[in-house]
A and B are shown apart, each in its own frame.
Chain A
Amino acid sequence: MTQTAVAATTEASAPVIAAQNLDLTFQTNDGPVHALKDVNLTIGKGEFVSFIGPSGCGKTTLLRVIAALEHPTSGTITVNGITPDQARQNRAYGYVFQAAGLYPWRSIEKNIALPLEIMGFDRAEQEKRVKNVLQLVDLDGFGKKFPWQLSGGMQQRASIARALAFDADILLMDEPFGALDEIVRDHLNEQLLQLWARTQKTICFVTHSIPEAVYLSTKIVVMSPRPGRITDIIESDLPRQRPLDIRDTPQFLAIAHRVREGLRAGHAYED
C-alpha cells in the first residue's frame, strides 16, 4: 500500500481521484435503486470539479463514494492511489455538507477544533490552526460566538474553515451554498475561488446551479438520473482569475450552454 502511495506521489501527472466502471445499487424496500452506473472519472491535483445534475442523478452519492461514506457495488476507485477508506484514515478529506452542521453546543472555534481534537493535535497546534483558518474564511473575531449567533452564510464559512483545519488536500463540498440566497452565494463563490487559489486544494463541488458550476470549475461533470450516470465532462477554458462579471462573457455563456444541453439530453433519455 505504501509503495503505491509513494509511486502515486512521485508520478507528477498521477490523478488524485480515479474511478473506473463504478456501479452502486442501493437495496431499498421498493426494490433496488441504481444510484451510479458505469462511472469513469479522473480528477487531477488542484482541479476544481463541479458535479451538476437533477435530483437523483447520483452526484451526492458519487461524492459520498469518494469520501468512503458509501461503498461501490462494483468497479474501482482510488484516491491518491489508495482506497477511499485508507485515504480517509490519512485525513485526505475535508467534507462540507449542505447544512453547516455546526454542533450547537460548541463555539465556532471549538467547532473548528473538533476534527483537530479527534485527530489528536496538541492544544497549541489546535489554537494556531483555528486562528489560521478563521482568517482564511474571513471570520476573525467570531471564534467565541455560538453558531446561532451567526448568519447562515457565516455558519457555512465556519463549516468550510472546519474542513480546512486539518489540511486535507481534497475538499468535498455537497451543495454547500444551496440553502443561501443568491447575493450571499455570489459572495461566497468569489471567496471560495480565492481560497482555492491560495490553498491549491483539489475541490469536488456538488451543485444544482449552472452559473455556479461554470463560474467555479475547471471541470464540469454533467450527470443524469435513473440510473445515475455521467453524460458529459466539460473542461473549462476560462482563466483561473475570475471576476464575477466573467459570467457575462460569450466564453462563459458558451460553456453554460453546453452544460444546459447536457442536462437536457439526460432528461430526453428519461422521457
Chain B
Amino acid sequence: MAVTDRPTRTAGALAAMARAVVPVLSVVLAIIAIWYGASVMMNRAWTLDQIQRQNLEMTPSQIIADAMTQERPVLPPPHQVAAEIWNTTVGEPVMRERRGQMQGNPRNLIFHAYHTLWPTILGFMIGTGLGILLAIGIVHSRAMDLSVMPWAIASQTIPILAIAPIIVVVVANLPVLNTAVDQGWISDDTKLLVPKALISAYLSFFPVVVGMVAGLRSPNAMDLDLMRTYSASRAQMLWKLRLPASVPFLFTSLKVSIAAALVGTIVAELPTGARFGLGARLLTGSYYGQTIQIWSALFMAAICAAALVMILGALEKIVLRRMGVRP
C-alpha cells in the first residue's frame, strides 16, 4: 500500500507547491508592475522638463523609454537597480591592487555588505548573549524583574540615530582600544568595527530579553512541581527545564533580533563617517544623488537580512528536530 501511495503523494506535494508558488509569483509580479508604473510617473517630470528646455519632440513611448533609462531617476525602475547590483557584484572584483597591496574594492557591493555583516553578526552575538543573561536574571530575581525591564524598554525608545555618534566618540577614545591598536593587536579597521557592533547589540538584545523571559516562564505549574518533588536546585531547574522549554521562543526572538542588528549596523554607519559598509554606500549615494546606488544598497541590505533570517530558520529546524518536535 505504501508503494502505491508514493506517486500520488509526490503528485500531491507538487500540486501543493504549485498552489504556493502561484500566489507568491503573482504578488511579486504585481509589485514589479506597480514599481514600473510609479517609476515612469515620477521620472516623467524630468524628461518633460528637458523637452521644454531643449525644444525636443518626443512621442509618449519615447518619454516612457527615457523615464526608465535616466542616470539619476527619482525612482529607478527595477531593471536599472538589478543591473546596478549585477555590475557592482559580479562586474567588479572584490579585491583590487592599490599601492602594491591587495585591498577591498569599494566599488564592489559585496565588499560593503561584508563590512556591514561582520559587525552585525558580532553585535547580534553580543546582544543575544546579553539578552539571555538578562532574561535569566529577570526570571530568577524579583529585584531584577522590577528594575531591569523598565530600563530595557526605555533603552529602545531612545532614537538610535541620536546616540550612535555618542557611542562612536566614546568607543573611539577608549584607552583599551587605543592601546590595542598601538600594540598592533587589532587594525584600525577592526577598531571601527567595535562601535558598529555595540550599536547593533544595543538594538538586538531587546527582542531576546522579551522572548526569553516569556520562554523561561513557559513551563507550567506541573512541570515545575515535578522538579520540586526531585528537590532540584534552581540551576538544575534552569538547565533541565526552563532553558530547553525556551528554545522555540529564543528562535522567534533571534529572527527579530538579527534584523534589528542589521538595521543597527547600517544606522551606525550613517552619522559616523564610515567609509565602508552598506550604510556608507547609502550615504554617498544620497550625497551625490545616485538614487540607483541607494536602491541597490537597500536591496543588498534586504538580501542580507533575508539570508540571515533564513540561516536562523534552518538552524531552528535542525535544533527543534533534534529536540523531538513533531515534524
Contacts and interface: CB of A to CB of B under 8 A. Distances in A.
Contacts of A99: 222
A95 B244 CA distance: 22
The range of chain B's interface size is 20 to 34
Interface residues of A, number: 25
Contact of A115 (B230, B241, B323): B230
B237 to A, nearest CB: 9
A107 B324 contact: yes
B319 to A, nearest CB: 10
A115 B241 CA distance: 12
A93 B230 CA distance: 8
Contact of A101 (B223, B228, B323): B223
Contacts of B244: 103, 105-106
A114 interface: yes
Interface in B15-66: none
Among B229, B232, B236, max chain A CB count under 10 A is at B229
Contacts of B176: none
A177 to B, nearest CB: 16
Interface string B297-327: 0000000000000000000000000011110
Contact of A69 (B228, B232, B236, B326): B228
A114 B229 CA distance: 12
A97 B227 CA distance: 12
A94 B325 CA distance: 27
Contacts of A114: 230, 240
Interface string B212-238: 000000000011011111111000100
Contacts of B227: 118
A239 interface: no
Contacts of A97: 222, 225-226
A interface majority secondary structure:
loop
Nearest to A110: B324
A178 B81 CA distance: 65
B97 to A, nearest CB: 53
A101 B220 CA distance: 10
A20 B56 CA distance: 107
A88 B222 CA distance: 17
Contacts of A107: 324
A98 B221 CA distance: 12
A121 to B, nearest CB: 12
- The list of the 7 closest CB pairs from A to B, nearest first, reads A146-B324, A105-B323, A95-B229, A118-B230, A105-B244, A115-B230, A118-B232
15 contacts: A67-B229, A88-B231, A93-B229, A94-B229, A95-B229, A98-B222, A103-B241, A103-B244, A105-B323, A105-B325, A106-B324, A118-B232, A119-B230, A147-B324, A148-B326
